[in-house]
């Protein structure tokens, strides 16, 4: 039985860890905030004191953290995991990162005679908790097959996208589309409110018509109720749009719709909504709406 370690027990990583434990797989966990990790001991996990401690003896090491800086720190920083990993260990980086960093990390893993997959996920906190994530995997098929039971414990489906980095590219394209849709809907709904339309009728038209994608339906419900309990942090969508724009520039394509969406998410983050759900992107626009609708 493979010994597994998981680093990062936030909105996504916590649910992933619990699904591994539910399958009775041996698991060590590490989180920067020790109080977040502590409850997992009662569920059967070994609580590690550092990324390096988590990596000791692990056959498979999974990371689910916020961004490039956090990923670099856990793999290559002080008490980083990579320095102590045994040859043949498989790294699975599930965080949404830049392809450039993924390639750099893969090279560092190879130098340590380890293997690596980039396997970012689609889904939110609720999908992580229910084991309903979709894994977008880049890397060698043979390595994927060796860890398929581990990924299956956490998700509903696995798509092998191709070579290392391809899962990350697909995830950034996916979140670019999500971010632009969210920004567009926020502005559309602000118009509904600003111009005094009956919100229930407007909601029905939008969500049951051509624009009514699953994402728009979810956003419509949350924005109408001002329900911003976090399923996906706004600041992470801001980060993903920025990474997607950098990726597009490297490929010689300008994402013209990404820039205004990114500006709106940055405004929301600067206005104090960064740690709320990304549906709160509408709030800086709402703040500009007069108390009475225009005539």
CA-wise closest residue to 242 among 205, 219, 211, 269: 269
**SS3 for 91?**
strand
Distances (CA, A) of 194 to 18, 35, 175, 185, 288: 44, 44, 28, 14, 9
Which active-site residues does the annotation give? 171
Q: CA 148, CA 102: separation in Å to the nearest integer?
A: 20
Q: At what angle do helices 258-268 and 166-194 cross, to 10 degrees?
A: 70
Query: Do 163 and 93 touch, CB atoms closer than 8 A?
Result: no
Runs of H (alpha helix) within the chain: 13-22, 34-37, 51-55, 68-76, 99-111, 125-130, 141-154, 166-194, 199-208, 214-225, 234-250, 258-268, 283-286
Non-local CB neighbours of 102 within 8 Å, separated by 6+ positions:
93, 118, 138, 164, 165, 168
Tokens standing for 173? 């394209």
Find tokens 């709406």 and name the residue: 289
| 15-47 residues labelled b (16+ CB within 10 A) or e (exposed) | bbbbbbbeeebbbbbbbbeeeebeebeeeebbb
Give backbone dihedrals phi and psi of 118, rounded to 5 degrees, phi first.
-95, 125
């Amino acid at each position: 039985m493979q010994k597994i370690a998981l680093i990062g027990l936030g909105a996504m990583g916590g649910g992933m860890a619990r699904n591994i434990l539910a399958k009775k797989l041996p698991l060590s966990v590490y989180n920067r905030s020790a109080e977040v990790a502590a409850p997992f001991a009662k569920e059967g996990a070994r609580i590690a004191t550092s990324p390096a401690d988590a990596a000791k003896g692990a056959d498979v090491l999974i990371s689910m953290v916020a961004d490039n800086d956090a990923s670099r720190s856990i793999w290559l920083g002080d008490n980083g995991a990579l320095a102590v990993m045994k040859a043949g260990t498989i790294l699975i980086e599930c965080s949404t990162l830049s392809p450039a960093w993924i390639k750099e990390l893969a090279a560092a893993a190879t130098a340590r005679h380890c293997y690596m997959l980039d396997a970012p996920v689609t889904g939110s906190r609720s999908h992580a908790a229910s084991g309903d994530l979709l894994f977008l995997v880049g890397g060698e098929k043979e390595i994927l097959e060796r860890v398929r039971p581990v990924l299956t414990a956490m998700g509903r489906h696995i798509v092998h996208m191709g070579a290392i980095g391809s899962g990350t590219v697909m995830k950034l394209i996916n979140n670019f589309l999500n971010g632009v849709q969210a920004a567009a809907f926020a502005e559309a709904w602000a118009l509904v409110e600003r111009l005094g339309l009956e919100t229930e009728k407007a909601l029905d038209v939008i969500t049951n018509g051509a624009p009514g994608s699953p994402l728009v339906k979810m956003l419509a419900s949350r924005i109408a109720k001002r329900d911003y309990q976090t399923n996906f942090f706004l600041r992470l969508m801001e980060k993903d749009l920025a990474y997607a724009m950098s990726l597009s520039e490297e490929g010689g394509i300008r994402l013209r719709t990404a820039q205004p969406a990114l500006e709106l998410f940055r405004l929301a983050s600067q206005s104090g909504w960064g740690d709320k759900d990304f549906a709160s992107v509408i709030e800086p626009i709402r703040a500009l709406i007069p108390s009475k609708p225009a005539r």
